[in-house]
Amino acid sequence: MATEQSDTQSWQRPTAFYNRYVKWVVYVVIGAFLLWSAWNMRISPARAAQGWTAAAELLGGMFPPEFTPFKTDLLVQGLIESLAMSVVATIIGVILSIPVAFMAAENIAPKPVYWVGRGIITVSRAFHELIIAIIAVKAVGIGALAGVIALSYKTVGFFAKLLAEDIEDIDAGQMEAVEATGANQTQTMLFGVVPQVMPRVVGLTIYRWDINIRHSTIVGIVGAGGIGSTLLNSFDKYDYDFFLTIVLAIIAIVMVGEFVSTYIRGRIQ
């Protein structure tokens, strides 16, 4: 192979690794880690077979889904609360995120401001919404307010991070040209930056709303309002028929949310 090459031709097939020894070491380490993990979890076929019958029993108990007027009322109430939470949390979250995104964009923010912005984003992204929801429920009591707080908080981490990355990718020339007219910094942002990221702001808002719909169905499990509370209640009462109704309703509403989101984002890009 290499013998045919003269000394002046040093090209070799590119590799993702430093050299072929490193490559084999990496493969061996990955394989060993996989085996160790499987051994460590003690996954046994007997256990899986045992669970299978319990699962079948549970699923059997769910049929048929229940649609009595009383339960339907509960369901609709829960869904409306979840939807309302997702809308309010998205609006509050986005309003809070936009200034944070500008702070966290390396190309326009001074270094200290940039680190503060990045810090806010990291803290927001560090915790799962359920953890925030638990804290919010302790703080403001059981109900939708706690859910709105948890979802708004999570929106900041997501929205500001992605928007900041988009601001970092703008065409600096457009911003520079506005600056060269004698515009102040805020005016430069308004004319030189905002128009460039506006489609992204709209797209991300819709996308985050879609995510918030899904998350609003889960935070109820820790008492933060919405359909999740109804879901947990039904499960605790062994009311598996109603449980299935709620699950189907959640799937329906998430699908509708995703459809609307895809449609709107398709239109603006």
Partner 1 sequence: MLSVTDLQKTYSSGDEALKGVSLEVTGNETVAVIGPSGAGKSTFIRCINRLTEPSGGSVELDGLEVTDLSGKKLRNARRDMGMIFQEFNLVERLTVMENVLSGRLGYVSTWEAFRRKFGGDDVGRAYEVLDRVGLEGHENDRADELSGGQRQRVGIARAILQRPKILLVDEPTSSLDPETSRAVMELLTEIAADDDIPVLINIHEVNLAEEYADRIVGLRNGQKVFEGTPEGLDETARGQIYRGEEIPEETGPKQSSAEETAEDAATQEGALRRG
Which residues contribute to the site for partner 1 (CB under 8 A)? 171, 173-174, 176-184, 186-187, 190-192, 195-196, 198-199
Q: How far apart are CA 231 and CA 240, in angstroms?
A: 10
Smallest gap from Cβ 263 to partner 1, in A, equals 22
Cβ closest to partner 1, residue 6 vs residue 184: 184
| CA–CA dist 160, 162 (Å, integer) | 6
Minimum CB distance to partner 1 smaller for 114 or for 191: 191
CB nearer to partner 1: pick between 173 and 266: 173
Strand, helix or coil for residue 198: helix
Closest alpha carbon to 247 in 233, 264, 228 = 228
Amino acid identity of residue 156, one-letter, is V
Greatest C-alpha distance within the chain: 84
In angstroms, give the least distance from the CB of 184 to partner 1. Answer: 6
State the nearest-atom distance from the C-beta of 260 to partner 1, in Å: 24
**What distance in Å separates the CA atoms of residue 166 and residue 101, rounded to the nearest whole number?**
9
Q: Which lies closer to partner 1 via its Cβ, residue 61 or residue 195?
A: 195
Beta carbon of residue 93, minimum distance to partner 1 (angstroms, whole number) = 22
Nearer to partner 1, 14 or 182 (CB): 182
Nearest approach in angstroms of CB 193 to partner 1 is 9
Nearest-10 crossing angle of helices 144-168, 194-216: 150
